[in-house]
Amino acid sequence: MKQYKFKFDRRFLYGSLDNFFHFMWGYMLPSISEVNKINSKNVQYFYEDCGPVINKIIHEFSGLLKLNYKILNMSDFKKTHAKTITVNRWDIYAKKIKPTRKCRAWYRRILTRLHYKIFRVLFVDTRKNSKYLIDIENTRKDILRRVESIDFPHEESISPKFILKRSKSPEYYKEGGKAEYNHYGTSIRALVGVEKTIDSLQNDNLHFSTYEPGKHTICHQVQTFYNAETVFGIRGAEVANMFWMKPGSTLIIINPIGMSASIAKDIAKILNINYIEINTEQGFYPDLSTFNLKEYLNK
C-alpha cells in the first residue's frame, strides 16, 4: 500500500492551520486536488493535526472522499515514512500582495518575501495561471458532485439570501489555549443588529435569514453556499466558503477600516463572484442595521 503525507507549506510565514480560511485554501482543498491526481484506492493518507475544531473537517472531507487516512501529531507526522507532498498554497496564489507575518527577526521577513517571489515566478503560470485555475475548478466540481447526493435530515435548509453569523470561540482558541493563534469568531469580530436588519429588509420584501457555518457540517456549508444568491458578512475565516458559490452570485463583506487588504476580493475574481466591500469606521463590531443595504443589493 502506498502512503502519502500532506504537509502544510510554512515557508511563507503566512496563515496557520488553526485558521479555517488558511486551512481550507492552503491545505485541505489543495490536498483533495492531490488525492484526485493520485486517483488510487490502495493508498493511505496522513494529515497534520490541526486542532479539535479543524480536525473534524478533515474527518468529514475524508469520509466524503472515502479515504483511508490518519491525523497525526507533528512528532508522529515527521517520523512517518510516507512520501511527503507539500501541498500548493492556494491562499498564496490568490493573494496579489506579498504575504508577511509580523516577526521580530528581520531575516524571517526577508525569507518569506523571497519564497513568495519564487512561488509567483516559478510555480504560477503568469500568462493565464492555468495550472491553479484548473486544479481549483476540478476540485470544486468533484466536491459539489459528491455533496449533491447527500440528504441533511437533521440540518435546516437555508434561504439563498442570508447573513453570516460568527461562532463563539471554543476553549482551544481562547487565551491560554493550545491554538497557535487565539483568534476565532466573535472574540475578534462580529456583526450586531442582524435580526433588526432582517426585519427591516423583510419590510421591503427582501427575504433574508441567518446562517452560522460553525454550527453545521462542512457538507452542509458546501451545499448552502452553492445555493446562495446573496451573502452578507463581516470579514472572517468563514468567508473561505465562497469557494462553493456560483459565478454571478453576490458576496457583500463589511471590512473594518485599518485592516489590511482582504484576500476575498482576489478570490472573487478567480471564482467570478460579484464582490462588494463596505468599509466601516464602526470598529470590529459594526451595527449592520445602520447600513443602507438596499443600495448595495441593487448594484
Q: Which fold has domain 161-297?
A: Rossmann fold (3.40.50)
Q: Other C-beta atoms within 10 Å of 109: how many? A: 16
CA angle 24, 32, 34 (to 5 degrees): 125
Q: Comparing C-alpha atoms, which of 20, 265, 37 is closest to residue 134? A: 37
Q: What is the pLDDT of residue 105?
A: 62
Task: Extract the runs of DSSP E, i.e. beta strands, from the chain.
Answer: 2-7, 43-48, 68-72, 83-86, 161-164, 209-211, 230-234, 250-256, 274-280
Indicate the pLDDT class of residue 104, thresholds 50, 70 and 90: low
pLDDT-derived band at 294 (thresholds 50, 70, 90) equals confident
More confident residue, 94 or 249: 249
Q: What is the mean pLDDT of the chain?
A: 89
**Beta carbons of 287 and 197 less than 8 angstroms apart:** no
Residues near 234 by Cβ (< 8 Å), separated by ≥ 6?
164, 166, 189, 190, 191, 253, 254, 255, 256, 286
pLDDT one-digit tens code per residue, 250-271: 999 999 998 877 889 989 999 9
The rounded distance, in Å, linking the Cα atoms of 35 and 62 is 10
pLDDT score of 278 more than 60: yes
Q: Is the pLDDT of residue 281 over 60?
A: yes
Q: What residue segments make up the domains of the chain, in order of their start?
A: 2-148, 161-297
Look up cell 478570490; give the residue: 267
Q: What letter does residue 22 receive in the DSSP assignment?
A: H
| pLDDT attached to residue 127 | 46
Beta strand pairing status for 250-256 and 274-280? parallel
Residue pair 243/25 in contact (Cβ under 8 Å)? The answer is yes
- pTM for this structure? 0.90
